[in-house]
Amino acid sequence: MTERTLVLVKPDGVQRLLVGRILGRFEERGLKIVGLKLVAVDRTLAEAHYAVHRERPFFEGLVSFITSSPLVAVALEGPNAIAMARAMVGATRPHEAAPGTIRGDLAMETAQNLVHASDGPETAIAELALWFAPGEIVDYARDVDRWVLSPVD
């Protein structure tokens, strides 16, 4: 099933010059970039994105981290895009993330784990609506898809 999901390359990814490498992994895999922007996140957006963690002790740290420097927001599309992006990102805690995943290869700390990816279909819809205005997600055809996607889908 074709899905769309939100991935954030968080401030540590931008500051560590890893944006190209991280986006490249998704692109090489075959996921289609349908939205992309650099965002200086304000407190309102940060609190909305992390609303589910509002009662956690690390909430203030999360908001302060994600507003500390720009991040890159990307909307990705493809069959099972939500599960695929989550698998590629790896476990939240980098010491539990498998080698070959982004966090398993590039991250050391939970609070600076480089990437965020929507964790399910409802979250993906809500997060895409939060990060991208109408018109910022673009429908287009990719010629390469005849070599990447199943012709029966």
Establish whether 116 is a catalytic residue.
Answer: yes
Six-digit token pair at 62?
Answer: 């999360």
Minimum distance, C-beta of residue 82 to ligand CMP, in the bound complex (Å): 13
Q: Which stretch binds ligand CMP (CB under 6 A): 30-38, 72-80, 105-113, 139-147?
A: 105-113
- The mark string for 59-98 relative to ligand CMP (x by CB under 6 A, - otherwise) is --xx-----------------------------x------
Q: For residues 137 and 35, is the Cβ–Cβ distance under 8 A?
A: yes
Q: What beta strand segments (E) does 53-128 contain?
A: 71-79, 115-117
Q: For residues 10 and 115, is the Cβ–Cβ distance under 8 A?
A: yes
* One residue of 11, 113, 118, 128 binding ligand CMP per CB under 6 A: 113
Minimum distance, C-beta of residue 143 to ligand CMP, in the bound complex (Å): 33
| Residue 111 binds ligand CMP, judged by CB under 6 A | yes
Catalytic residue among 49, 53, 95, 116: 116
| Residue 45 binds ligand CMP, judged by CB under 6 A | no
Exposure letters 72-107 (e unless 16+ CB within 10 A, then b):
bbbbbbbeebbebbbebbbeeebeebeeebbbbebb
Amino acid residing at 13? G
Q: Which residues bind ligand CMP (CB under 6 A)?
A: 53, 58, 61-62, 92, 110-111, 113, 116
